[in-house]
Amino acid sequence: MVIYGVALLAGCMLFGLWAGDVLGMLLGVESNVGGVGIAMLLLIFLGGYLIDKKKMPPSTESGITFWNGMYIPIVVAMAASQNVAAAIDGGLIALLAALVAVGASFALVPALTRLGQPKPSPEAPVDETPVNQVASRATDDTRSKTTSRSHHAR
């Protein structure tokens, strides 16, 4: 039945958010710590277990996949109810702070993705060590530093 899937999803969410609140309280933080993430892990484990046990008929599954499919429309509704006007009121400081933060974080994605990657070739880990060391110290300077160094060498 469809409601079984929805109920499983709802149960995971309620338990996860509650666990996130408890975790926040234990850490002394006024916020939920990873409640949604805990709920997702729970759904992965419970869902996987039930699939293995052949206890997830298509009708039950559709209770979850419906909400999965509603995700993008919900995100659009979320975008339409953001406080965009307040952000623009915050002016240049707010925009610049956000822009620098987002730019630096984007630049860190490739560096961290390479880190601890299962070795593509036997030489790879030796090659990667210096890159990682630079990357952990500086943020987006990594690329400019390496290029200026290679120019120097030439």
Q: Per CB under 8 A, which region of 42-50, 119-127, 144-152 contacts another protein?
A: 42-50
- 7, 25, 88, 124: which one contacts another protein (CB under 8 A)? 88
- Rounded to an integer, what is the distance from CA 103 to the centroid of its chain? 17
- 109, 123, 152, 153: which one contacts another protein (CB under 8 A)? 109
- 54, 58, 71, 121: which one contacts another protein (CB under 8 A)? 71
- 99, 125, 130, 147: which one contacts another protein (CB under 8 A)? 99
By the rule CB under 8 A, 30 interacts with another protein = yes
By the rule CB under 8 A, 91 interacts with another protein = yes
Pure H helices in the chain? 2-27, 35-52, 58-69, 71-80, 84-89, 91-114, 124-137, 141-153
**Of the two residues 115 and 148, which places its CB atom closer to another protein in the complex?**
115
- How far apart are CB 50 and another protein at their closest, in Å? 10
Q: Are 36 and 17 in contact (CB under 8 A)?
A: yes
- How far apart are CB 147 and another protein at their closest, in Å? 16
**Of the two residues 78 and 153, which places its CB atom closer to another protein in the complex?**
78
Q: How far is CA 117 from CA 41, 79, 126, 128, in A?
A: 23, 35, 13, 10
- What radius of gyration do the chain's Cα atoms show? 23
User: What amino acid is encoded at 1 in this protein?
Assistant: M
CA distance 47 to 11: 12
